[in-house]
Amino acid sequence: MQVVLLRELSAAFFGVDLIYLLAVGAWLLWTAVGALLGRASLDSSASRVCVLLAFVGLLVPLEVALIRSLPLLLGGVPGAYLALPVQIAASALSLLPASVLLGLLFQWTAKRYLSSDPTRPSLPGRLGRSVAGAYAIESVGGVVGGLAATLTLHWRMQNMALALAAAALACGAGLLVLSSAGAPDAASARTRHVTRGLVRVFALTGLLACLVAGWNGRRLDQWMTSWTHPDAVEAADSPYGRVTITERAGQVCAYENNALVLESEGTESEDFAHLSLLQHPSPRRVLLVSGASAGLLAAVAAHRPDRIDDVDLNEQMVDLLRRHLPASFEASVIGPSVRIVFGDPRRAIAQSVEAYDVIVIAAAEPASAQANRFFTREFFDQCAAHLNPGGLISLRLSSIENLWTPPLVARTGSIYTALRQVFADVVVLPGANNIVFASGTPLTRDPDVLAARLAQRGIRARMVTPRYLRYLYANDRYAAIEALLRRDRALPNTDANAAAYQATSLLWLSKFAPSLAQVDLAGTAEAFGWSRWRSWVLLAIAAGLSLVWRLAGWPRRTALVGIAAGGGMTIETLLLVHYQLKHGVMFQDLGVLLMSVMAGLAAGAWLVDRRARRRAKGAATLPRLFFAAFVALSVATSIGIRTDYGSGLLPIAVMLGVTGALVAGVFACASHGDADQRRLVSPLYAADVLGGSVGSIAASLVLIPLLGLPLTAEWTAALMAIAILLA
């Protein structure tokens, strides 16, 4: 259910990675609220659990509908961001019903699980049931859900269909709980029989409604899509996001996660292709990165190269475009000189033995970790290794024509610096979209030479004309921007130090809080580095507070659980963002990655619970060991990010599993020491999810945008080291 709703929020808010992280924080916050509701009650009937399961199930498709209608309900302008407070509130409130009920559901089911403990004092050697055991069972459910979410996307199952399947499963689970409950007491048999009958009818009705809706799932999905895209003709969920095609009066538009990526009547793609190929005197072999989905093929073919290779990420996007764009697009795709390969461009280029005259990078700007991978020094190195002598690469970046804020300078400067470290010459054509060229040999800056090439090739473009070329290369902004970028001395954008992604995250936040546009990223990160006295003062204050807390005898059990969950969520956030930066398939692999966390939670809770209860004397030292392991894991995360080592799916999944195991280990240790385990369900589970909420929100809104990934991991290590004093 969580994966379904997170995907919907990502698609609703233009695929910005921070939405994932903010939504996870909100989800955990509301789950904590649910875990605290009615915590004084120690028993829950099967009927109440069944009703709650059915409600949770039916809420999932309803919340999908709510998320898709948010722009309309809140009066948003199509294609524009909502105000940040509205956006955060909308995403948080849309998750509230399901997450609160799930928190309450865990509380009720865990107490039922503990109340039905078959262990008797007369049976020595039996460990009985515990809060940690219930926590482990819940985590196993997360493993199954994550696997199902991943496989269904691989099978091209729409997110709406997955939501209906989850709803049907919840209603079915409610019926199973009801049927497995024992017979009611004789004193209340009649009343309980009537109640169970009504509950059974409610759950059956919900199950049938989900099945009927699933039978018409594609129509339902199309209808909901039309709420924000009235002219939608087709939509599909791909591994990279939701693709929507609209058509009106002959104009076809393509959207990915509600962000416009192509429209058939515009000139932007055509301009980019012509300006790029005019920089080369005779482009015979051209490589495009996401060229088909960006609509570049026809314009590139006008220069009559011998061969056009295109590596595209999103096969479903291209398939939909071929079905709906004019016949000229289909002709450009199947042209005799065109070869399209679907897959990761970075992997494809690394494995290729071909050399090219021009490489055109048409990937989306680095507004997400997925896109940032195509603007790093390592990727530019790959491209340079596959260029013929005199070859060049080109890319484009959205910009502001007349006023560059510090984050925009930092974003563009980091990419410019990365290019300068690989290529001898770099040219930036400023405008609403900056077009950037880089080559190992001097590039052409003479508009007359470029105009002559345009005429020689017989190209009649709508925008790119000799006068337009003179304007681009001779206006005042051209020289001013080049001077600005040379002075800036920004850190290069690399796989390990994603400076462009960090700056773009701040740019996104500055859309809603304009004062953030004046933040000096380099200065902020440096101010809290390890060579600054203020960093050590802050750590000393934190250490002092930990000692005071311990000496004062304040409750440590819930505090330790909350700190472990917050640190674990911060590490999890860093690993997810790092994986997205390297591989760009978060939408596809989110289920597997979350499944790894849940597997770690289940294993950690079960193993530590058994050990702590068999060897009670040594249980007191376990939290210190876990926080020491947190320190090591945080340092390893920082090293992995800085060195780019261990960024594959398996290493990241293993580290996420270890993170979950450490969090669950602290939880299991804290769950011992109370004779009635049912009294610990609400406070410990609430502390766990509340700490995770704080960690997720702090990491996504503050730490990653301002400090970057490696320094955030190092601060997490320092704070986990201080937590040892409290353990």
| Residue where one domain finishes, among candidates 500, 515, 536 | 500
Do 683 and 588 reside in the same domain of the chain? yes
In a domain, 232, yes or no: no
List, edge to edge, every strand of the sheet that includes 259-263.
232-238, 241-248, 251-256, 259-263
**160 and 307 part of one domain:** no
Do 567 and 644 lie in one domain? The reply is: yes
- 720 and 627 within one domain: yes
- Quick: pLDDT tens for 395-433: 999 887 777 878 788 889 999 999 999 999 999 998 888
Please report the beta strands in 381-477, taking only residues with DSSP state E, as ranges in sequence order: 387-398, 425-429, 433-439
Specify whether the CB–CB gap between 610 and 672 falls below 8 A: no
Side chain identity at 558, as an amino acid letter? T
pLDDT of residue 5: 86
Top-confidence residue, 633 or 177: 633
Instruction: Please check whether residues 334 and 457 belong to one and the same domain.
Output: yes
Distance CA 441, CA 392 (A): 8
Q: In the 3-class helix/strand/coil scheme, how is 289-353 assigned residue by residue?
A: ECCCCCCCHHHHHCCCCCEEEEEECCHHHHHHHHHHCCHHHHHHHCCCCEEEEECCHHHHHHHCC
Average pLDDT of the residues in 9-36: 80
Residue 36: its pLDDT value, please? 87
Judgement on whether residues 454 and 321 belong to the same structural domain of the protein: yes
CA geometry: angle 434, 436, 439, nearest 5 deg: 175
Percent of the chain past pLDDT 70, that is, above it, reads 89
| Pair 420, 313 in one domain | yes
Q: Do 604 and 704 share a domain, yes or no?
A: yes
Residues 6 or more apart in contact with residue 259 via CB below 8 angstroms: 14, 15, 79, 364
Whether residue 560 sits in one domain with residue 468: no
Confidence of residue 121 (pLDDT cuts 50, 70, 90): very low
pLDDT at position 124 is 35
Rounded CA-CA distance 333/543 in Å is 62
The enclosing domain of 334 has a CATH number of 3.40.50.150
For residue 146, being part of any structural domain is answered with yes
The Cα 698–Cα 505 span in angstroms is 14
Quote the DSSP letter at residue 365. Answer: P
Q: What is the pLDDT of residues 57-71, one digit of tens each?
A: 889 899 999 998 888
Q: What is the pTM of this model?
A: 0.77
Indicate whether 235 belongs to any domain.
no
Q: Compute how many other C-beta atoms are within 10 angstroms of the C-beta atom of residue 614.
A: 11
Instruction: Find the CATH number of the domain harbouring 155.
Output: 1.20.1250
Alpha carbons within 13 A on the beta-carbon side of 239: 20
With a cut of 80, say whether residue 630 has pLDDT above it: yes
Residues 340 and 201 occupy one common structural domain: no
- pLDDT for 123: 33
Q: Whole-angstrom Cα distance, residue 500 to residue 514? A: 19
Domain membership flag for residue 161: yes
- Predicted confidence band of residue 84 (pLDDT cuts 50, 70, 90): low
Final residue in a domain of this structure, among 478, 500, 522 = 500
- Owning domain of residue 328: 267-500
Q: 649-670 vs 681-698: helix axis angle to the nearest 10? A: 140
Look at residue 617 and tell me if it is in a domain.
Answer: yes
State the CB neighbour count (10 A cutoff) for residue 451: 18
Q: Which of 8-17, 86-95, 652-661 has the highest mean pLDDT?
A: 652-661
Q: What band does 120 get if pLDDT is binned at 50, 70 and 90?
A: very low
Average pLDDT, the chain: 84
- Are 176 and 32 contained in the same domain? yes
Q: How many domains does the chain have?
A: 2
**Res 127: pLDDT:** 46
What's the rounded mean pLDDT across residues 517-527? 67
Domain annotation covers residue 145: yes
- The answer to whether residue 560 scores a pLDDT higher than 80 is yes
Q: How far is CA 689 from the centre of its chain?
A: 19
Query: Can you tell me the mean pLDDT for 616-630?
Result: 79
Read off the pLDDT of each residue in 481-502 and give the average, rounded to a whole number. 82
Last residue of a domain, one of 468, 484, 500: 500
Please give the order of strands across the beta sheet that includes 285-289.
338-342, 307-312, 285-289, 356-361, 387-398, 433-439, 425-429
In the predicted model, what is the mean pLDDT of residues 341-359? 90
In a domain? residue 656 = yes
Percent of the chain with pLDDT over 90: 31
The lowest-confidence range among 6-15, 41-50, 82-91, 252-261 is 82-91
Distance of alpha carbon 615 from its chain centroid, rounded? 41
d(CA 212, CA 158): 16
210 and 281 share a domain? Answer: no
Predicted local confidence at residue 187, as pLDDT: 46
The answer to whether residue 122 sits within a structural domain is no
C-alpha span between 11 and 639 (Å, rounded): 32
